[in-house]
Structure 1
Amino acid sequence: MKKLLLATAVMALTSGAALAQQTVRMGTEGAYPPFNFINDAGQVDGFEREMGDELCKRAGLTCEWVTTDWDSIIPNLQSGNYDTIIAGMSITEEREKVLDFTQNYIPPATSAYAALSADADVAGGVVAAQVGTIQAGHVAETGATLLEFATPDETVAAVRNGEADAVFADKDYLVPVVEESNGEFSWAGEEVQLGGGVGMGLRESDTELKEKFNTAIQSMKDDGTLNEMIKKWFGAEAVVF
């Protein structure tokens, strides 16, 4: 009887551990629409929320959403505050030195300049970009003066208030800024291709979790679901797989 009770207890503990392992904390910024943002109900919303929930469903995982500031998003992953980064993060060689990426779920996309004038000096003027982004890195390598901000909204505000001549960011982020500005903003300079697309960031030790998400992402590519979501959130002209 004691052996039976012991075996039952072990099974219960094992089962509980298995269930616990099925909960994955999804780290995002919540401030980069349409990739991710906080809706009126105070919940994480956007393309990555819808896609992430579908990935979790296909991978048999229960996912919880956690928000964090962009400038601490990689350290917080490494510290164990969440298990993935799903926050419009482009795959770059520099980032791959400190974390792993899944395959991309957004193809290599275009970065662009937006300004109050189409002839703004993006080559030698002051250009705003979000800190820690590939766009900030690109501006730093040009002749422009880089002005970094913690959030993308602040980069746009810097152009409005005259601190910067232009903002440089993912074109997908800037499209609504330009289109909904009633002519205040316009495109400036040349578009630039950066990075290897957007993927999920994970700790290098989480190989099994990476494989689960890779399989789920590939299944969404194969059945067309991912392309449908990209067009839903980024428009019919968005680059798809």
Structure 2
Amino acid sequence: MKKLILGLALTAFGTGTALAQDVVRMGSEGAYPPYNFINDATGELDGFERELGDAICERAGLTCEWVINDWDTIIPNLVSGNYDTIMAGMSITEARQEVISFSQNYLQPEPSAFIGLAGADPEMTMTGVVAAQSNTIQAGFIAESEADLLEFPTPDETIAALRNGEVDAVLADKAFLEPYVGDSGGELVFLGDDVLLGDGIGVGTRQSDDELRATLDGVIGEMKADGSLNTMITKWFGDETPLFE
């Protein structure tokens, strides 16, 4: 799944534990459907993670306040105290765990996929110019391959670059790419094999927020056990998405 942040040298300061006030500020990107996006009709954050985050807070007796933040600064602003959690399609990785901590995963590892223009050679995914959103696990994967990586601040910009002929392919979460391919009228196609990256998606917290993280873990565990998390996953990602047993 999404996102790799490398080389951050950050220090948390001045926030304390979010549970002290029973208010949890939930940081999200709002630009990666179906994980999180801005609903055009309401102007509000929507998506799987909005629904899940609200459900977690309700079960825990907490008040959620959602904060939208650009992806490139989403970890630094968590650490500096602008919000208390990250729910933004963020994969659990060893590199990130050097800077922040995670709850248990609320999504299992899902495939990333390459797309290109119709008629493109699948070999270009490994030898051509491939776009990915900056600071993602997909960008890290491309950087270690024989392809040339071109990074963009937002996922939508990677699609635009493909359509404009700036790149040969795009690598992103397959769930994010499927609507683009389906709605393209044959202009966009999947290329090559899917790729499994990361250890699933979890809630990011500051390393010092042990009480908050334990609360989140408890609720996510309850939702796995009673099947409500699986119901929510199927609603937003479809029947073929891996579920929790």
Q: TM-score w.r.t. structure 2 length? A: 0.89
Q: Does the 8 Å contact 2:19/2:212 carry over to 1? A: no
Shift of 1:155: 0.7
5 Å matches for 1:152-191? 152-191=155-194
Matched, 1:239 2:239: no
Which residue of 143, 147, 163 maps to 2:146?
A: 143
Shift of 1:19: 8.5
Q: How many residues align?
A: 225
Please show how residues 68-147 of structure 1 align to structure 2 within 5 Å: 68-117=69-118, 118-120=120-122, 121-147=124-150
Aligned-CA RMSD value: 1.4
Distance 1:93 1:180 in 2: 36
Percent identical among aligned pairs is 62
Give 1:238 shift: 1.4
Residue in structure 1 matched with residue 26 of structure 2 by the alignment: 26
Structure 2 SS opposite 1:122: helix
Which residue in the other structure is 2:15 paired with? none
SS in 2 for 1:94: helix
Unaligned stretches of 5+ residues in structure 1: 1-17
The normalised TM-score by structure 1 is: 0.91
3-state SS, counterpart of residue 126 of structure 2:
coil
Shift in Å, 1:60: 1.1
Change (3 A) 1:114 1:20: same
Larger radius of gyration: 1
Question: How is 1:6-25 mapped onto 2 (pairs within 5 angstroms)?
Answer: 21-25=21-25
Question: Could you tell me which amino acid in structure 1 is paired with residue 239 of structure 2?
Answer: A
> How far is the alpha carbon of 1:20 from its aligned partner?
6.2
The answer to whether the 8 A contact 1:119-1:189 is kept is no
Corresponding residue number in structure 2 for 1:50 = 51
Q: Distance in 2 between matches of 1:88 and 1:119?
A: 29
Q: State the alpha-carbon separation in 2 of the partners of residues 110 and 134 from structure 1.
A: 12
Which structure shows the bigger proportion of residues in helix conformation?
1
Higher RCO (Cα < 8 Å, 6 or more apart): 2
Cα-to-partner distance string for 1:124-165 (whole Å, 9 max, x where unaligned): 100000001000000000000000000000011110000111
